[in-house]
Structure formats: C-alpha cells, structure tokens
Chain A
Amino acid sequence: MGNLKPSFFAVVGLLLADIGVLSLLIASGGMSLGVFLLMGSAIVFSSGTTWLISKEDGRVHFQGAWKAVFVLLFCSGIFLVLQKSGLQLQIAPENLSEVGNILASRYLVGGWILSVVMLMVFVAVGTVAMRKEKS
C-alpha cells in the first residue's frame, strides 16, 4: 500500500465511476455496446497507468479550481434542461441487425470515403518516412 499514490487512486476512482456508468448501460439493454466500451476502458486505464508509473509523480496537482464553478453551472444547466424536457432513461434491448442496417444505409458511403482518405494519408506518410530514412 505504500507505493499507491493519490493520483493512482484518482485514476482508479474514475475507472470505477466509468464501470458504474457502463454497467448502467448494460443493465438497460445495451450489452454489446457496453462490453465494447468496457474493453476500451481497460485499454485506456492500462496505458494511462503505464504512463503514470513511468512519467508522472504521485501527487494530484490541482490548478485553476475556479474552473469547477463554471463546470458545475454547465452541468446544473444540463440537468435542468433534461428535467424540463421530460426525457428519461428508458430500458430498451438493442437490436444489432437493425442498428447495422441503419448504420450501413446512412453512413456506408461516408465510411468508404473515410477509408480511402485514411489509406491515402497512410501511403503519403509512409512515403515521406521512407524518404527521410534514405536521406
């Protein structure tokens, strides 16, 4: 316990809050989306902990705490809007085939264009890297 530092506890607390939020998502029917996000959380937590152990100190450095006032104002505004608009958390099991159909019908061409752009960027970066390596 002696090596555990406050910043590590802060990261673990954020991870636990994240797991709570995702368990809410899984309990409300979004099983595959929740598991996908949980895997992402595990990767982010492990890489962040690696960075924390090797590069950062254990103290939590808080600076500009006055910014918390604006954050609280912003969040209370969001809560008031959600209350006034009558929105509520609804349990609905996800239908993956329907979700896939909607994603494919709306964003298929966008996905193709994005993949072509990313391929061109990778080719360009690879070419520049090879030129630098040769020179």
Chain B
Amino acid sequence: MILALVIAMAVALIFFFCSRHFSIHLMSLKLLLDILVVFLAGVRGPGQLGVNFYASAWLLSSLGSMALFALIGTAAKRFAQSRDLNLEGTNE
C-alpha cells in the first residue's frame, strides 16, 4: 500500500513539474497534499499514538487547502480581468 502511495506521489510530482497547464498543476498539488496527509495520518511505527498524527494531519490539510484556495482566487481574479474569455467554444 505504501508503494502505491509513493507511485501516486511520483505521478503527481511528474505532472506538476513537467506539464504547462494550470488546471493540471492545481489537481496534482491537491493529490500531493492528500498523499502527504495520508502519510501523516496513517503511517507510523508500532506504539505511537495516532491522535498526535491526526492533529498534525488536520493542521496540514487546513493550511494546504487554504493555499490552494488562494491559488484559485488568484486565477479567478485573472480570469475576471481578462477580455478573451473564449466563450465561442473552439478552445484550440
């Protein structure tokens, strides 16, 4: 299971560093954040209390979501200021 998480992390990092799309950047950042939260909340050694890890996971997920929403807000501001909304639909 840890291997699957590491593979998903590699996919998210590759998409983040190698693609040029803002939407792919957003989604890969969210995937990376969620993998880090799952690592923090679920992966621990024997005898370690889960509550401490869950508290840190809540904090990390809140801060990460706030950063993503700030990115979305910046994009929305730029979206609203632009004049070429391309509502005709060709999108090419």
Contact = CB atoms under 8 A, between A and B. Distances in A.
B23 A89 contact: no
A109 B2 CA distance: 35
Chain B interface size band reads: 35 or more
Nearest to B38: A25
Contact of B19 (A18, A49, A61, A79): A61
A7 B23 CA distance: 9
Interface in A1-58: 5, 7, 10-11, 14-15, 17-18, 20-22, 24-25, 28, 30, 33, 36-37, 40-41, 43-45, 47-58
Interface of B: 1-3, 5-15, 17-24, 26-28, 30-31, 33-35, 37-38, 41-46, 50-52, 54-55, 57-59, 61, 65, 68-69, 72, 75-76, 79, 82, 85-87, 91-92
Interface of A: 5, 7, 10-11, 14-15, 17-18, 20-22, 24-25, 28, 30, 33, 36-37, 40-41, 43-45, 47-58, 60-65, 67-68, 71-72, 74-76, 78-79, 82-83, 85-92, 94-95, 98-99, 102-103, 106-107
Given A48-B23, A78-B6, A82-B6, 9 more contacts: A5-B91, A14-B27, A54-B85, A57-B92, A75-B9, A79-B6, A88-B2, A90-B50, A94-B50
